[in-house]
C-alpha cells in the first residue's frame, strides 16, 4: 500500500513524543526534528508507512547513536499479557467457537502500537479486552479459514508488535489444539524497530513451544518482500495458509499476490475507508492469490 498523507503526520508526531521523553541534547533533538520532517514531507514515491518508519529510526541511530528505544515498553506489555495467557486460553477453549474467539483477541490486541499511539500503558490491555468482546470476525472469512486449516500442513504466522504477540500465541495454541496436523512457523522482525516482536521477544514469551520461530532478515515494521531474507521468502512460498497480523504487515503485503488472511485493527482512517469498516474496529480479511 502506498504511503497515505495521514501516515506522515502520525509517524512524525508519535516518534517526536517518544524521543522528547528521553530528554536528549536540545541541539540533537532539533536536528532530529528537522531531518524527520524532511523525510515525512518528501518520501520516495513507492514508500509505505513501514519504510518511512525504518528511515526515521535510521536518522535517530545516526544522530543519537542508537535506535528509538522501546525495550521497556516491550517488556512491560509482554510480561503483563503473559500473566493472563493461560486463563484466557482456557476461557477461549471453553467458548462455543474457540477459533473465532481467539481471532477476536488477536485482532483487538493490534491496538498495542507505539508507531500510532505513543502514550500506551498497562491500562491499555483493558481496552484490548473490551474491543475483543465487541469484535465479530467476518463469517465468510472465518469459514474459509477453518476450511483451509482442515487440510493444511504448514501455516506461516507473520507477527507484529510486542504485547499483542502473546495474543497471537494464544491463537496459535488454539489452532494447534483444534488442528494438530498443522505445523506453525512464526515470523518475527530481523532486528529491533519500534515495539515490534523479534527473536528475543519470541523467546521471552515462550513462542517456540508452539511454533518454529524464524525472522524476516529485515529491521522494518512490516514485511517488505523485496528485502526479505531468502529463508523468510521461502516460507511464504511453501505455506498452505498465511496469517498476517497488524497494519505494518498489511501495508507491505496487501496486493503483492499472496493468499493471506489479515488480522488487524482499523486504527487509521484511510485503512478503515479502504475496507469499508468503522475506524477502531477489528478486521479479519482474506486476500486471494492472483
- HSE-CB for 159 with a 13 A CA cutoff: 34
pLDDT at 227: 95
DSSP classification of residue 25:
-
The answer as to whether 66 is a domain residue is no
Out of 60, 83, 99, a domain closes at 60
Kindly tell me if the per-residue pLDDT of 162 is higher than 60.
yes
Residue 113: strand, helix, or coil: coil
Assess whether 154 and 281 both reside in one domain: yes
Q: For the segment 83-123, what is each residue's pLDDT rounded down to a tens digit?
A: 999 999 999 999 999 999 999 999 998 877 655 555 556 66
The answer as to whether 47 is a domain residue is yes
Assess whether 54 and 115 both reside in one domain: no
pLDDT at 4: 76
**DSSP of 73-99:** HHHHHHHHHHHHHHHHHHHHHTSS-HH
Which residues constitute the domain of residue 44? 5-60
The residues, any chain, with a CB within 8 Å of residue 123's CB and separated by 6 or more, are: none
Assess whether 135 and 96 both reside in one domain: yes
Assess whether 51 and 83 both reside in one domain: no
The answer as to whether 126 is a domain residue is yes
Out of 41, 60, 79, a domain closes at 60
C-alpha to C-alpha distance for 123 and 21, rounded to whole angstroms: 20
Assess whether 221 and 102 both reside in one domain: yes
Assess whether 249 and 196 both reside in one domain: yes
Kindly tell me if the per-residue pLDDT of 65 is higher than 60.
yes
Out of 17, 37, 60, a domain closes at 60
Assess whether 140 and 34 both reside in one domain: no
The residue that leads in pLDDT, 129 or 138, is 138
pLDDT at 121: 60
**CA R_g for the chain:** 18
Residue 277: strand, helix, or coil: coil
Kindly tell me if the per-residue pLDDT of 179 is higher than 60.
yes
Total of domains in the chain: 2
The residue that leads in pLDDT, 13 or 153, is 153
pLDDT at 290: 65
Using DSSP bridges, classify how beta strands 183-188 and 212-215 pair: parallel, antiparallel or unpaired.
parallel
**DSSP of 161-175:** BTTHHHHHHHHHHHH
pTM more than 0.75: yes
Assess whether 180 and 243 both reside in one domain: yes
Assess whether 41 and 91 both reside in one domain: no
The residues, any chain, with a CB within 8 Å of residue 30's CB and separated by 6 or more, are: none
The answer as to whether 129 is a domain residue is yes
Q: For the segment 9-60, what is each residue's pLDDT rounded down to a tens digit?
A: 888 888 888 788 876 788 999 999 999 999 888 888 889 999 999 999 999 9
The answer as to whether 65 is a domain residue is no
pLDDT at 10: 81
DSSP classification of residue 109:
G
Assess whether 194 and 246 both reside in one domain: yes
Assess whether 168 and 26 both reside in one domain: no
Q: Which CATH number covers residue 184? A: 3.40.50.10880
The answer as to whether 134 is a domain residue is yes
Distances (CA, A) of 33 to 23, 48, 59, 243: 14, 20, 10, 36
The answer as to whether 280 is a domain residue is yes
Assess whether 199 and 79 both reside in one domain: yes
Amino acid at each position: 500500500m502506498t504511503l497515505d498523507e495521514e501516515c506522515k503526520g502520525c509517524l512524525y508526531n508519535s516518534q517526536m513524543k517518544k524521543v522528547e521523553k528521553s530528554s536528549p541534547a536540545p541541539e540533537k533533538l532539533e536536528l532530529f526534528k528537522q531531518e524527520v520532517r524532511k523525510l515525512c514531507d518528501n518520501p520516495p514515491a513507492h514508500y509505505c508507512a513501514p519504510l518511512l518508519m525504518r528511515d526515521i529510526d535510521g536518522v535517530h541511530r545516526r544522530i543519537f547513536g542508537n535506535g528509538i528505544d522501546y525495550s521497556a515498553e516491550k517488556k512491560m506489555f509482554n510480561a503483563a499479557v503473559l500473566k493472563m495467557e493461560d486463563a484466557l486460553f482456557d476461557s477461549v477453549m471453553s467458548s462455543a467457537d474457540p477459533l473465532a474467539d481467539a481471532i477476536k483477541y488477536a485482532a483487538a490486541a493490534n491496538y498495542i502500537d507505539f508507531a500510532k499511539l505513543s502514550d500506551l500503558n498497562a491500562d491499555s490491555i483493558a481496552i484490548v479486552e473490551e474491543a475483543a468482546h465487541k469484535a465479530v470476525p467476518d463469517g465468510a472469512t472465518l469459514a474459509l479459514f477453518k476450511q483451509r486449516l482442515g487440510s493444511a500442513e504448514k501455516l506461516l504466522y507473520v507477527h507484529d508488535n510486542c504485547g499483542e504477540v502473546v495474543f497471537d500465541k494464544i491463537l496459535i495454541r488454539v489452532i494447534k489444539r483444534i488442528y494438530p496436523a498443522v505445523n506453525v512457523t512464526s515470523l518475527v522482525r530481523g532486528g529491533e524497530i519500534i515495539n515490534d516482536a523479534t527473536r528475543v521477544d519470541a523467546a521471552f514469551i515462550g513462542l517456540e513451544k508452539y511454533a518454529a520461530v524464524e525472522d524476516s532478515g529485515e529491521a522494518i515494521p512490516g514485511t517488505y518482500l523485496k528485502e526479505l531474507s531468502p529463508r523468510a521468502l521461502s516460507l511464504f512460498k511453501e505455506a498452505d495458509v498465511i496469517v498476517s497480523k497488524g497494519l505494518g504487515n498489511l501495508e507491505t503485503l496487501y496486493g503483492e499476490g499472496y493468499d493471506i488472511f489479515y488480522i488487524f485493527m482499523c486504527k487509521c482512517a484511510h485503512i478503515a475507508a479502504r475496507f469499508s469498516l468503522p475506524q477502531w474496529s477489528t478486521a479479519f480479511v482474506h486476500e486471494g492469490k492472483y
